[in-house]
A and B are shown apart, each in its own frame.
Chain A
Amino acid sequence: MHTHARKVLTAALFAAGFCAPALAQQTPAAAPAAAPAAKPAAPPAWQQGRGAAMADSKLAPHAGKNTETPASEIPIDKLKLPKGFKAEIWATGIPGGREMARGAKGKIYVGTRGIGRVYEVTDQGDKRASRIVVDKLNQPAGVAFQDNSLYVMSIDKVLRYDGIEDKPDVPAVDMTAAFNIPLTTHHNWKYISFGPDKKLYVPIGAPCNLCEPPEHAAQIRRYNADGSGMEVIARGTRNSLGMDWHPKTGELWFVDQGRDWAGDAGPEEELNRVTKMGQFYGYPYCHAMGIPDPDIKKDKPCEGVVKPVTTLGPHASVLGTKFYTGNMFPAEYKDTLFIARKGSWNRTKKFGYDVVNVKLSPDGKKAKVKPFLTGFMNAKDDSFWGRPAYLLLMPDGAMLVSDEQLGAIYRISYSGGKKK
């Protein structure tokens, strides 16, 4: 019995393919859009594409924190900014907080992943109060606000709360059927954003680290606010979350996270620009500034691929992305881009854990990436305490930064060195 079991196991080992190239070759045949039936075990989605060279690596995604962190336990003094800027703790007690959306009347809504909650934060002047709008959802990372309604998108649900700023107990309108989003979990903890066209932009990630994605995945879509009129905006994106529209041209710019298990050097993550509908951005064949994938190979892998405006560093986990259109920061920041980099896990030395500023021309040329908000990470002992996940501009021109690790929101303001 046991001998037989071992033989079966050994056979399964060969059949499944232990290293990445074998898996990669297997994937096209095994990737129909329908839910997979029983088949030999694939490694977890976040491990796919890991080659033999990294088989003994202990790199794994860092644990988040579901418990509340009081302000007294947040080392805000460690944050560093250019001269004249200041960081302060704006709100705490929102474990796992990621994407933020500001309501018409100033309430801030915050999505999460594992803890399954959406928060509402109310500014009471000298302090902020928060409450839970909805809980027990499956990774409700996406929140957006338009015309007095809050939209929440989890892995498997789309909910709309009409007039929630005035009616805290308003029941949700279930929009799930209208949007008909794919239900695969991996890389589908989405950020959602309303564009200047009043349509809702929804990224659908690749359901793996590295695979030939099914037709409905690895893309950015947009819908009418009622879920109708779905169009694919961009294809060949891997795990794209942050996006914003250029204040002058109105074009969509988005960031995309690069694949894992291809070494410490990258491929680097990307900042992209959409000049035409439905263009192809390279995943899984071609990464960054034209690096062919070492595992999923095809002839002329980078042909017809839109190259990024700039790269954003290896394994940085690029997230919240915002053009600065406020009037508080110095003029040199006007229409530049801020990007939150949550920080790496798939790298032997940590990278990211900051907010960078990208100076650029509207055509995307001459992009220059410079660290802006740092100090979440300590390179000396390779430790970190905070993970910036999203950026939100306030009417006064200050910028809010959500910290997913400590469940806090920080406010970045500029006073030109003058003491307040």
Chain B
Amino acid sequence: MLSRLIEGRRAWLLAALLFSAPAAAQLTERCASCHGPDGTSITPGIPSIAGQPKVYVENLLILVREGVRGSAAMQQQMKGVSDREIIALAAHFAKLPLRPTPGASNAALIKQGRLATARYRCGICHLHDYRGREGSPRIAGQREEYLSDVMRAFRDAPPPGSEANMSAAMYGVSDADIRAMAHLLAHSP
């Protein structure tokens, strides 16, 4: 726990040094207040952002700032944040290691989740270890309830934007499969 704190602090200091604008450190702090000091969220419904591909975070945060994607709360947070600041934030959190604590796993759900992720070919974009790449987020080790919520949202109320692929991927997927995939992914290293 202590080493985690120290490492989190070191990353924070590094970020503060790297960012040219004085507001940059305040920005990372603002993110950390909900998403966890090291980018690993311990709050239900709020995703972890450590270890996410840089391009994915950049592109998503722009869409959030533009009011195209994301919750009202996140849109409020991103108001007036510049492209440069978004690029720096994405670089910062991409480098932080994700340290999830998903709790006990359910063997039957894991098994069903494996079948379902193979069936829906999640690994093509998110890669076979689900660590993500380019515009596809890391889904390994993400919070379980968040994964469920997002997959259901893509299925039931697809957001606009080129991420239409994800809505198409979730088309017709059952609640049971979503639950199983979320459980498997949350418990993936």
Contact surface of A with B, Cβ cutoff 8 Å: 2, 5-6, 9, 13, 38-47, 55, 57-68, 95, 113-117, 135-139, 155, 185-186
Q: Which of A39, A113, A135 contacts B162 (CB 8 A)?
A: A113
Q: How far is the CB of A14 from chain B (nearest CB, A)?
A: 11
Query: Which B-chain residue is minimally distant from A59 (CB atoms)?
Result: B124
> Which segment of B41-49, B53-61, B143-151 sits at the interface?
B53-61
Q: Contact: A66 with B168, CB < 8 Å? A: no
Q: How far is the CB of B108 from chain A (nearest CB, A)?
A: 4
Q: How far is the CB of A38 from chain B (nearest CB, A)?
A: 6
User: Measured between alpha carbons, how far is A6 from B174 in the docked complex, in Å?
Assistant: 12
Q: Contact: A66 with B87, CB < 8 Å? A: no
Known: A2-B112, A64-B135. 7 other contacts (CB 8 A): A44-B165, A44-B166, A46-B165, A57-B124, A59-B124, A67-B58, A137-B160
Given contacts A41-B173, A116-B66, contact A65 B58 (CB under 8 A): yes
Given contacts A63-B136, A113-B162, A139-B161, contact A42 B172 (CB under 8 A): yes
Q: Contact: A67 with B62, CB < 8 Å? A: yes
User: Measured between alpha carbons, how far is A62 from B87 in the docked complex, in Å?
Assistant: 19
Q: What are 22 sample pairs from A and B whose C-beta atoms fall under 8 A apart?
A: A2-B111, A5-B176, A9-B115, A9-B119, A38-B172, A41-B173, A42-B172, A58-B124, A61-B165, A63-B59, A64-B59, A66-B58, A68-B83, A115-B63, A115-B68, A115-B161, A116-B160, A135-B68, A136-B68, A137-B160, A139-B160, A139-B162
A139 — which chain B residues lie within 8 A by C-beta?
160-162
Q: Output the residue of A40, A45, A63, A65 with the most chain B CB within 10 A.
A: A63
Contact surface of B with A, Cβ cutoff 8 Å: 55-56, 58-59, 62-63, 66-68, 83, 86-87, 108-109, 111-112, 115-116, 119-121, 124-125, 127, 134-136, 160-169, 171-173, 176-177
Given contacts A116-B161, A139-B162, contact A41 B120 (CB under 8 A): yes
Query: Which B-chain residue is minimally distant from A208 (CB atoms)?
Result: B168
Q: How far is the CB of A155 from chain B (nearest CB, A)?
A: 8
Q: Contact: B172 with A41, CB < 8 Å? A: yes
A-B contact count (CB 8 A): 110
Q: How far is the CB of B14 from chain A (nearest CB, A)?
A: 22
User: Measured between alpha carbons, how far is A42 from B120 in the docked complex, in Å?
Assistant: 9
Query: Which A-chain residue is minimally distant from B67 (CB atoms)?
Result: A136
Query: Which A-chain residue is minimally distant from B176 (CB atoms)?
Result: A5
Q: How far is the CB of B48 from chain A (nearest CB, A)?
A: 20
Q: Contact: B119 with A138, CB < 8 Å? A: no
Query: Which B-chain residue is minimally distant from A61 (CB atoms)?
Result: B165
Query: Which B-chain residue is minimally distant from A63 (CB atoms)?
Result: B135
A13 — which chain B residues lie within 8 A by C-beta?
119
A5 — which chain B residues lie within 8 A by C-beta?
112, 176
Q: Output the residue of B115, B119, B167 with the most chain A CB within 10 A.
A: B119
Q: Contact: B161 with A65, CB < 8 Å? A: no
Q: How far is the CB of A35 from chain B (nearest CB, A)?
A: 12
Q: Contact: A62 with B164, CB < 8 Å? A: no
Q: How far is the CB of A55 from chain B (nearest CB, A)?
A: 8
Q: Contact: A6 with B136, CB < 8 Å? A: no
Q: Contact: A138 with B59, CB < 8 Å? A: no
Give the top 3 A-B pairs by smallest Cβ distance, nearest first. Answer: A63-B135, A114-B162, A44-B168
Q: Contact: B176 with A114, CB < 8 Å? A: no
Q: How far is the CB of B116 from chain A (nearest CB, A)?
A: 7
User: Measured between alpha carbons, how far is A75 from B160 in the docked complex, in Å?
Assistant: 31
Q: Which of B83, B115, B168, B173 contacts A67 (CB 8 A)?
A: B83
Q: Contact: B66 with A135, CB < 8 Å? A: yes
User: Measured between alpha carbons, how far is A55 from B62 in the docked complex, in Å?
Assistant: 33
User: Measured between alpha carbons, how far is A6 from B180 in the docked complex, in Å?
Assistant: 11
User: Measured between alpha carbons, how far is A47 from B160 in the docked complex, in Å?
Assistant: 19
A62 — which chain B residues lie within 8 A by C-beta?
134-135
Q: Contact: B125 with A185, CB < 8 Å? A: no
Q: How far is the CB of A328 from chain B (nearest CB, A)?
A: 34
User: Measured between alpha carbons, how far is A66 from B56 in the docked complex, in Å?
Assistant: 10
Q: How far is the CB of B44 from chain A (nearest CB, A)?
A: 25
Query: Which B-chain residue is minimally distant from A68 (CB atoms)?
Result: B83
User: Measured between alpha carbons, how far is A67 from B56 in the docked complex, in Å?
Assistant: 11
User: Measured between alpha carbons, how far is A67 from B168 in the docked complex, in Å?
Assistant: 25
Q: How far is the CB of B62 from chain A (nearest CB, A)?
A: 4
A43 — which chain B residues lie within 8 A by C-beta?
121, 168-169
Query: Which B-chain residue is minimally distant from A4 (CB atoms)?
Result: B176
User: Measured between alpha carbons, how far is A9 from B113 in the docked complex, in Å?
Assistant: 11
A135 — which chain B residues lie within 8 A by C-beta?
66-68
B68 — which chain A residues lie within 8 A by C-beta?
115-116, 135-136
Given contacts A2-B108, A61-B165, A114-B162, contact A95 B134 (CB under 8 A): no
A116 — which chain B residues lie within 8 A by C-beta?
63, 66, 68, 160-161
Q: Contact: B125 with A60, CB < 8 Å? A: yes
Q: Which of B58, B160, B168 contacts A46 (CB 8 A)?
A: B168
Q: How far is the CB of A305 from chain B (nearest CB, A)?
A: 29
